[in-house]
Amino acid sequence: MRCADATFHARDYDLAATLNSGQAFRWREVEGAWENVIADRWVRLTQERDVIRAQTGQSAKGWRWLDDYLQTDVNLAAILKSFPKDEPMRNAICACRGLRLLRQDPWECLIAFICSSSKQIVQIQQILITLCERYGQPVQTPPGHPPAFAFPTPERLAARAETELRSCRMGFRAPYVRTAAIEVASGNLRFEDLAHLPIEAARERLMRLPGVGLKIADCVLLFSGMHPRAFPMDVWIKRALCRLYFRRVRASESRLRKFSATYFGPWAGYAQQYLFHYMRLHHR
């Protein structure tokens, strides 16, 4: 089995910011490169200016899967143009130049964000690493490289007892993860359907899962590329909206929701990511 190697021309793409902007939790920075497993392929990415270089652990038949994940073909300039032309957005665009949204596997997204509730990013990463090491399929890595694992299938997680999942340090989220796995494995919840539903119906369907509220539902719909208007509202975004658009007035949740549902336009989720990342940069 030979390793494959390719380069992509990616204009206006900040790989580091994108992989480290809280939308995906499994990327690891190793000596200036980014490593992860996408579906069942280990991959290492590096960037130099407008060129992204990719290496995989096995001979890959084409690179469509990676293009799709990285969304290298989307016209970022057109998306940025659709944002409202106010000062906060201008500042965010300026500070986050090249930030992108990925298109991730909705199943992995769902579990990752169920685990994210009331957790810090480092701890979310730890839970996911444990899940993959215990229940994920090993994947091909380059010679001498430590083993890597795919994200566990719904079937594998559905077969685990709640107490066993708890021992992955996910605490009270264990029954949520288990139920989600059972729903997906049984075919009761089909992600293909969610993409074709109107966003409100897709949200409702996801929120029928225990442990999935509006915020997590929107994370899944946005970060798996199903609904670009999805607008995950966490504490940081609420703070940002209050401060930037309501002049420190403590706006109510429903007020913020109505505002964000219309104000940011058809790519509201993208705008949300820019505001979120901008807040994180600014707050350090």
Partner DNA sequence: CTCCAGGCGCCTT
Partner DNA sequence: AAGGCGCATGGA
Q: What does DSSP say about strands 41-48 and 33-38: parallel, antiparallel, or unpaired?
A: antiparallel
CA 152 to chain centroid, in Å, comes to 17
Residue 225, SS3 per DSSP: coil
Tell me the closest approach of the beta carbon of residue 254 to DNA, in angstroms: 4
Q: Work out which of 47, 104, 116, 224 binds DNA, going by CB under 7 A.
A: 116
Long-range contacts from 258-262, C-beta under 8 angstroms, 24+ separation:
260/231, 260/233, 261/229, 261/231
Distance between CA atoms of residues 185 and 38, nearest Å: 20
Q: What does DSSP say about strands 33-38 and 138-139: parallel, antiparallel, or unpaired?
A: unpaired
Tell me the closest approach of the beta carbon of residue 140 to DNA, in angstroms: 30
Indicate the residue among 163 and 262 with the shorter CB distance to DNA: 163
Contact indicator for 160, 178 with CB cutoff of 8 Å:
yes
Residue 22 is a binding residue for DNA (CB under 7 A): yes
Indicate the residue among 154 and 232 with the shorter CB distance to DNA: 232
Q: Work out which of 2, 73, 75, 120 binds DNA, going by CB under 7 A.
A: 120
Indicate the residue among 6 and 121 with the shorter CB distance to DNA: 121
Indicate the residue among 41 and 100 with the shorter CB distance to DNA: 100
Distance between CA atoms of residues 232 and 269, nearest Å: 7
Q: Is 215 a catalytic residue?
A: yes
Which one from 61, 85, 119, 215 is the annotated catalytic residue?
A: 215
Contacts to DNA by CB under 7 A? 21-23, 116-123, 126, 166, 169-172, 207, 209-217, 219, 232, 234-237, 250, 252-255, 272, 276
Q: Which residues are catalytic?
A: 215
